[in-house]
Chains A and B, each alone.
Chain A
Amino acid sequence: MRALAPAEHLGELEDAVDDLLGRHDVADPAARPALWRALSEAGFTLLSISERAGGSGGDLADAAAVLRRCGYAGLRLPLVETLLAAWLCEQAGRPIPEGMSACGVAEAGTAAQLTWAGTAADCVLLVHAEGAYSVSPATTVATAETTLAGEPVGTATAGPGAPTSVRAEELRLRGAVLRAAMLLGAAQRALDLAVQYSGERVQFGKPIRAFQAVGHLLAGCAGQVVATSVALDAALASLSDPGCDPERQEVAALVAVVEATHMAGRLAAATHQVHGAIGFTAEHPLHLSTTALWSWRDDYGNEFEWATRLARIATAHGREAWDLLAD
């Protein structure tokens, strides 16, 4: 039995990311290009992509550590999308995008409502046609819409592509696992804000944390966050282990994304409740975390879809699903 304890270097990596983010105004959309350049120069945007393919090396746990801290900081940049685009290109033997990229699945050659398409310099699509998949660069147009998290949206149209063995479900699940790391970061931040505020806000002559109902609400949040964190660590370890059976990897990934997407809405609701009206305002930083929680939980699929997929796999194994559910 091996501990999934984080390697020492993950802590250092997280500190380095925090340090970099601390030097930028993360909430300001105008600061995004400079922030991306800084992250990219530090090698934080292409972790888990091999150096041979033009990435920064490292594994998924490294990439997730960066994503978690960026999620904590409330960052709005196409980190997950760029990682997915680079991974698709790497798998298909194509050159990886150099800067920000959007990424998605296209049925019939186009992908609508695609986050960052038209705003990021590049866009890579996994195109599904006649039962086969190909990886294509795309032309994009931004629309006036944004996601719940305030990220830009556009439409992408596929150009000529290269064949790939990667399937849509695989890409989407990988995207959801990476997104789960950002969700976890956003949830941790929302919880930290709520814990802090509950000690500062005084009503009825005492800090509101002194009320048992508030304490229990926050304790419940901690349980959700820890559950997501345990499940995500396990999924990352499983996905990074080349010897691991693909079905086990899929199950570990599904467990993590089910936990993360389920946790997201609950954390948003509970942390708003603790903040009262002030947390409902545009000035207060809480919404940076909660709008991310509401938005990102629906990226690449949602909790109902993931849970259904997990149930189908388990049912196919009958009682032996027990073995698939922890490794």
Chain B
Amino acid sequence: MSTPVSLRGYRLADTADLRADVREFVAAELAERRWSARCDAWLLGWDPEFSQRLAARGWVGMAIPQEYGGRAAGALARFVVTEELLAAGAPVAAHWIADRQSAPQLLRFGTEQQRRLFLPEIAAGRMYTALGLSEPDSGSDLASVRTAATRVPGGWRVTGRKVWTSGAAHAHLLTALVRTTPLEPGTPRQAGLTQFLIDFDSPGVQVHPIRLINGEAHFAEVVLDDVFVADDRVLGTVGDGWRQVTAELAYERSGPERVLTTAPLLLAFLRDAARTGIAEPAALGRCLARLSTLRRMTASVAVELTARRTPELAAALAKDLGTRFEGEVAEVVRQCRTDQGGDEVSRLLREAILQSPGFTLRGGTTEVLRGVIAKGMGLR
């Protein structure tokens, strides 16, 4: 299109064997009743043993090179495994952020020592990370973060508060965005920020779990009180934190989890629909068409990312459409179901509705994404 937004679909046919392997694994897990499907399982389904069983199959750290303990299976293989696990509603939350975000970041910006230390543990499904970006007064306006570090011999001392930190209660490492150069009038706010890798068991780190509306605590407030961070735990370059964080946004925004959070509900509904009937087939058909399109769009961004391009605009488009779709699924299932029984569909529907406010907030709100798209189209 002449408006500068483009994305091409990908055909996933050649990965059918891998899909079948993952499905067989999932079926065996379900047969042994090790877990049951959940919506938003990449936030709600924290299960370290599952992560390790998955890793034993080679399905964690798939994009990590072999020299660091990974499988070097490539982004598309990872995409397929991720799609299948999300569709199944499998408990992938524990290793999620480490696998999706920290591993590529370490590969791109980390020191050799950091890579050797962390990547094999991530690939083994044993090491979990959390993202320390948001603060009480910094949400969409991320460059306003106030958590600050001062230079001390051999490292830094960090003080401040992070909030909404997913997985903080059980994760090992916090990737925190911190101000290392005090804000001077006239200098851009994006300058002077640095990313630190902070051990959750460092002295001065406190984690206060925060309950979601479903009553469960999956994110937390993280208080950093004069926490010492050694120089070898700086990620990338001091002062380059903003660029590094925005470079990772495409990973955070474009994955299948921005489309498939409620797929377990939709698939459970489809499984039953032949028996129960569908009240509004046209609404269901539209929803399925969009699912198909979004799967192709996210596959396409996954490929762009392997080519080391940063398809920021395409990722924002996919996330805007995808996360709105995730909420739509609950509405469409409500509209289409003909019985209201206490079955799995009801349970997943309830879960989808209660989780839905988060879909269009986390990882950049819909409004912020629309701004990114508008900018990419040359409108601002």
**Chain A interface residues (CB < 8 Å from chain B):** 1-6, 188, 191-192, 195, 198-199, 209-210, 212, 214-216, 218-220, 222-223, 225-227, 229-231, 233-234, 237, 251-252, 254-255, 258-259, 262, 303-312, 314-319, 321-323, 325-327
Contact = CB atoms under 8 A, between A and B. Distances in A.
Contacts of A222: 3, 5, 317, 373, 377
10 contacts: A4-B10, A225-B5, A226-B314, A229-B7, A230-B297, A255-B289, A306-B285, A307-B282, A318-B274, A323-B19
A258 B286 contact: yes
Given A191-B3, A230-B297, A318-B274, A308 B281 contact: yes
Nearest to B87: A322
A292 B122 CA distance: 53
Interface in B325-342: none
B329 to A, nearest CB: 13
B333 to A, nearest CB: 12
A223 B373 contact: yes
Contacts of B320: 219-220, 223
B292 A215 contact: no
B9 A234 contact: yes
Contacts of A223: 317, 320-321, 373
Which 4 residue pairs are nearest across A and B when measured between Cβ atoms? Answer: A307-B285, A215-B374, A219-B373, A311-B285
Interface of B: 1-3, 5-15, 19, 76, 87, 263, 267-268, 270-271, 273-274, 278, 281-286, 288-297, 299-300, 303, 314, 317, 320-321, 367, 369-371, 373-374, 377-380
Main secondary structure of the interface of A (DSSP, over half): helix
Contacts of A195: 3, 377-379
Contacts of B76: 1
A4 B11 CA distance: 7
B377 A310 contact: no
A219 B370 contact: yes
A316 B314 CA distance: 34
A108 to B, nearest CB: 28
A3 B10 contact: yes
A233 B314 CA distance: 16
A142 to B, nearest CB: 34
Given A2-B11, A227-B293, 17 more contacts: A4-B9, A192-B2, A210-B380, A212-B371, A216-B374, A218-B379, A219-B377, A227-B290, A234-B11, A258-B285, A259-B289, A309-B285, A311-B288, A314-B270, A317-B270, A319-B268, A326-B296
Contact of A220 (B289, B300, B370): B370
A192 B3 CA distance: 6
Contact of A310 (B15, B285, B367): B285
Nearest to B316: A219
A304 B7 CA distance: 26
A323 B263 CA distance: 13
A325 B295 CA distance: 8
A311 B377 contact: no
Contact of A327 (B13, B87, B300): B13
B295 A188 contact: no
Contacts of A323: 19
Contact of B9 (A212, A220, A231, A319): A231
B90 to A, nearest CB: 14
Contacts of B317: 222-223, 226
A231 B289 contact: yes
B282 A1 contact: no
B379 A209 contact: yes
A3 B12 CA distance: 9
Contact of B8 (A4, A212, A214, A215): A4
Contacts of B299: 1, 326
A327 B11 contact: yes
